[in-house]
Structure 1
Amino acid sequence: MANPYQKYKDESILSMSQSELLLLCYDEAITSLKKAEIALEDKDYDLFDAAIGKAGKIVRYLTMTLNMEQPLSYELKKLYNYVNFDLGRLYAGRERRKDELPALIQILSDLRDGFREASLIAGNLGTPHESKIVG
């Protein structure tokens, strides 16, 4: 039998708008980078590698889903490519590059906030679903 909490989460994701899904992707990438920061401080390199890997997958997904017919997509692609490049350098250089993590978190946070504002203005974002999920 499936875990009821997991089933609820799956159903929540399936009912999200495109804007909410985009924000969820940003939230997950940002959370992963924050976990990577903590893991690096604790010298938990396995967790660091996993967190950086997850953030990289999310940013690659965001890159692949860009609608290149929109002019903004070219600028977003440059930012996503930069973030992915820097994630690769972080993965390879860990301790030497740990000061770059806050900048990557800030880039993704700024993008998230911008998309959230645009979605609110456009009227296609209601109360975020993440506020309903407990645990």
Structure 2
Amino acid sequence: MNRAYQTYQNNAVNTASGGELTLMLYNGCIKFVKQAMKDMDANDYEAKNRNIQKAQNIIRELLITLDPKVEISKQFQPLYEFMLNELTAANIDNSPEKLENVLGLVTEFRDTWKQVLLQHRKQQYSQRPTV
């Protein structure tokens, strides 16, 4: 059962568009931040550290994929850097408030991105010729 799920996950990633991959990254970041919050509550500092590092790796990936020629990228960069700093501080200080800050931002980014993808799909399908 686990192997089938892993195969499904691999296929989902391998066949996803760039926009869908970005959505997956946001969802993964949300998952790891939420898990780090649970780990913090359980005083499982090793797991908290591991999940915060996973979230940081996702934010770094989002940072390096920004296109500096696109104006919106210049606005996203400082927000991603803020999230990285908040995650680092949350890890050091065991601060659930800092994790909440990141969770709020990433959730907002994800929800906005999801709307962009939906609008893009609507445009794609409305422009297809009907038979």
Q: Kindly indicate whether residue 116 of structure 2 is the aligned counterpart of residue 113 of structure 1.
A: no
The structure carrying a bigger helix percent of its residues is: 2
Percent identity between the two aligned chains: 24
Q: How does 1:1-135 map to 2 (within 5 A)?
A: 3-94=3-94, 97-123=95-121
The answer to whether the 8 A contact 2:87-2:98 is kept is no
Backbone CA RMSD of aligned residues: 1.9
Shift of 1:5: 2.8
- Alignment-mate amino acid for residue 106 of structure 2: L
Task: Name the SS of the counterpart of 1:78 in structure 2.
Answer: helix
Q: Measure the CA separation in 2 of the matches of 1:98 and 1:15.
A: 36
| Deviation string, structure 1 residues 7-26 (Cα, Å, up to 9, x no partner) | 22111210111111100000
Q: Is the 8 A contact 2:52 2:87 kept in 1?
A: yes
Which one-letter code corresponds to 1:54 in the other structure?
A: K
With the length of structure 2 as denominator, give the TM-score of the two structures. 0.87
Task: Give the residue type in structure 1 aligned to 2:35.
Answer: K
TM value normalised by structure 1: 0.85
Aligned residues: 123
1:131 alignment partner in structure 2: none
Structure 2 residue identity aligned to 1:101? L
Q: Secondary structure at the match of 2:11?
A: helix
Structure 1 stretches of at least 4 aligned residues deviating more than 3 Å after TM superposition:
none
Q: What SS does the aligned partner of 1:123 have?
A: helix
Aligned AA (1:122) = H
The CA distance in 2 between the partners of 1:107 and 1:4, in whole Å, is: 33
Q: Name structure 1 gaps, 5 residues minimum.
A: 125-135
Q: Quick check: which has more Rg, 1 or 2?
A: 2
